[in-house]
Amino acid sequence: MSRLLVTGGAGFIGSNFVHHVIAHTDHTVTVLDKLTYAGNEASLAGLPEDRVRLVVGDIADAAVVDPLVAEADAVVHYAAESHNDNSLHDPRPFLDTNIIGTYTLLEAARRYDVRFHHISTDEVYGDLELDDPARFTESTPYNPSSPYSSTKAGSDLLVRAWVRSFGVRATISNCSNNYGPYQHVEKFIPRQITNVLRGIRPKLYGTGENVRDWIHADDHSSAVLTILDKGEIGETYLIGADGEKDNKSVVELILQITGNPTDAYDLVTDRPGHDLRYAIDSTKLRTELGWKPTYGDFESGLAATIDWYRENEAWWAPTKDGVEAFYASKGQ
Ligand code: NAD
Ligand code: TDX
């Protein structure tokens, strides 16, 4: 049994991880989360109070971070400003949280010699051409495109430096696009699902040809637990489930599953600097640590996610109108 400190545990992937940990291990969890617009206490509802505790605070505040890290056996660091579109509008919070926040946690992990796992993204590698047979691997050079991905790249490099220079016992994982329950409606899949549920036409940026490599958040969680358990200190592991799909196909699938005409969507203003394609080669994680995903079928995972949003309107309804007003102001 271990005591995990999970930063950003009230966000999308962090809360999925906390649910996964409670269901599959006997660890206890302290969530440290600032509850920004993206954090939601309701995502942790129903979890046992004797195993999960929420501390509301900022990862960039050493006075909050230090005692929590000191009492933990391991830190799993999910907290971030995570939305590319927001980073194009107002980059500053991305620097404060993703860079200074990660630095503050690393200093605490160094001070108290606590095992650290850093959650990152495939976006640090930039993008691929649609017809490029290559996929990202652990040795692909960093080439981030947006303020979001450049701050995530910076945070990864801080972790590597704290391992090398100070002996911090850290690992890093870079995962592809996640889908599943508890994802904020600003993101692509929940935005389109909740649009359809509200009778609004889905909105595809540009031509809809951009490709993302989808993995269910629960598979991401099992991969992170595997790395915590068996990962080698100082190593980076790419997490992916061979789920490449272009955005247009995803929207068509959402329309089809919900019984709508598959061409009932709008093409809208493209995202500036929009990465064309991401694709992960997760051979290292699979062969060295023996992990494999369990959600093999994207269509049934997507159908279950649509059901979740249909059944949990109270979770997303309060944020929907504000998100749509923000996008409408940008022609999206
Ligand atoms: P999210 O925006 O849903 O959640 C982020 C959480 O962090 C929120 O609960 C928020 O309140 C909290 N937070 C933000 N700033 C904070 C601060 N200063 N102090 C404490 N808490 C703070 O994000 P997500 O999609 O769940 O992403 C989680 C992590 O996974 C991020 O590090 C992201 O880069 C990474 N990631 C995401 C994806 C994806 O597809 N969403 C893919 C790969 C990696
Ligand atoms: O309304 C939309 N229409 C649309 O076509 C939105 C919101 C997005 N898109 C496109 C842009 C991307 O090609 O869909 C794709 C996915 O967009 P996002 O959900 O914003 O995700 P992305 O930019 O790919 O980044 C995500 O995956 C990697 C997460 O938000 C990041 O945190 C993670 O690092």
Q: pLDDT for 28-63, tens place per residue? A: 999 999 999 999 999 999 999 999 999 999 999 999
Whichever domain contains 222, its CATH number is 3.40.50.720
Which residue's C-alpha comes closest to atom 4 of ligand 1? 11
> Whole domain around residue 162: which residue ranges?
3-179+214-239
CB 215 within 8 A of CB 293: yes
Q: Which residues contact 314 (CB under 8 A, 6 or more apart)?
A: none
Predicted local distance difference test score (pLDDT) of residue 140: 98
Pair of tokens at residue 325: 């007003």
Predicted local distance difference test score (pLDDT) of residue 277: 98
* Element counts in the chain: helices (H) and strands (E): 12, 13
Predicted local distance difference test score (pLDDT) of residue 93: 98
123 is catalytic: yes
- Ligand 2 contact, 247 CB (< 6 A): yes
**Angle at Cα 68 formed by Cα 65 and Cα 73, nearest 5°?**
125
**Does the residue 332 lie in any domain?**
no
- The CB-side HSE value for 171 (13 A sphere, CA atoms) comes to 22
CA of 119, closest atom in ligand 1 = 32
Q: Distance, CA 19 to ligand 1 centroid (Å)?
A: 16
CA of 13, closest atom in ligand 1 = 26
Nearest in space to 67 (alpha carbons), one of 108, 98, 104, 34: 108
- Ligand 1 contact, 8 CB (< 6 A): yes
**Mutate which of 5, 6, 7, 12 for ligand 1 pocket (most atoms within 8 A of beta carbon):** 12
Cα–Cα dist 139/245, whole Å: 24
| Neighbour count for residue 57 (Cβ, 10 Å) | 16
The model's pTM is: 0.98
**Angle at Cα 190 formed by Cα 188 and Cα 194, nearest 5°?**
120
**Does the residue 158 lie in any domain?**
yes
166-169 — which CB contacts under 8 Å span 24+ positions? 166/110, 167/110, 168/106, 168/109, 168/110, 168/116, 169/109, 169/113, 169/114, 169/115, 169/116, 169/233
- Ligand 2 contact, 146 CB (< 6 A): no
Alpha-carbon dihedral angle through residues 200, 203, 208, 211, given to the nearest 10 degrees: -100
What is the SS3 assignment for 279?
A: coil
Which residue's C-alpha comes closest to atom 43 of ligand 1? 121
Report the chain's mean pLDDT, rounded to a whole number: 98
Q: pLDDT for 217-245, tens place per residue? A: 999 999 999 999 999 999 999 999 999 99
**Does the residue 154 lie in any domain?**
yes
Q: pLDDT for 113-135, tens place per residue? A: 999 999 999 999 999 999 999 99
Mean pLDDT, rounded, for 94-105:
98
Predicted local distance difference test score (pLDDT) of residue 296: 82
DSSP state of 43: G
- Ligand 1 contact, 103 CB (< 6 A): no
**Does the residue 202 lie in any domain?**
no
Which residue's C-alpha comes closest to atom 20 of ligand 2? 187
Q: pLDDT for 58-82, tens place per residue? A: 999 999 999 999 999 999 999 999 9
Mean pLDDT, rounded, for 100-115:
98
Nearest in space to 114 (alpha carbons), one of 44, 9, 34, 30: 30
Predicted local distance difference test score (pLDDT) of residue 1: 76
Q: pLDDT for 267-325, tens place per residue? A: 999 999 999 999 999 999 999 999 999 998 999 999 999 999 999 999 999 999 999 99
Cα–Cα dist 17/23, whole Å: 10
127 is catalytic: no
Which of the residues 58, 122, 127, 275 is marked catalytic? Answer: 122
Q: Distance, CA 124 to ligand 2 centroid (Å)?
A: 14
**Does the residue 329 lie in any domain?**
no
Alpha-carbon dihedral angle through residues 101, 105, 106, 111, given to the nearest 10 degrees: 140
309 is catalytic: no
Mean pLDDT, rounded, for 6-18:
99
**Does the residue 40 lie in any domain?**
yes
Band (pLDDT 50/70/90 cuts) for residue 255 is very high
Which residue's C-alpha comes closest to atom 41 of ligand 1? 178
Q: Nearest bound ligand to CA 8? A: 1
Cα–Cα dist 243/91, whole Å: 29
**Does the residue 57 lie in any domain?**
yes
Pair of tokens at residue 16: 């999925």
**Does the residue 62 lie in any domain?**
yes
- Ligand 2 contact, 187 CB (< 6 A): yes
Band (pLDDT 50/70/90 cuts) for residue 92 is very high
- Ligand 1 contact, 128 CB (< 6 A): no
Q: What are the Cα distances from residue 154, in Å, to 124, 147, 270?
A: 9, 10, 26
Query: What total of structural domains would you count in the chain?
Result: 1
DSSP string across 93-133: HHIIIIIIIHHHHHHHHHHHT-EEEEEEEGGGG----TT--
- Ligand 2 contact, 204 CB (< 6 A): yes
Cα–Cα dist 153/159, whole Å: 10
Pair of tokens at residue 52: 């999960």
Bridge-partner residues for 266, per DSSP? 203
Predicted local distance difference test score (pLDDT) of residue 201: 98
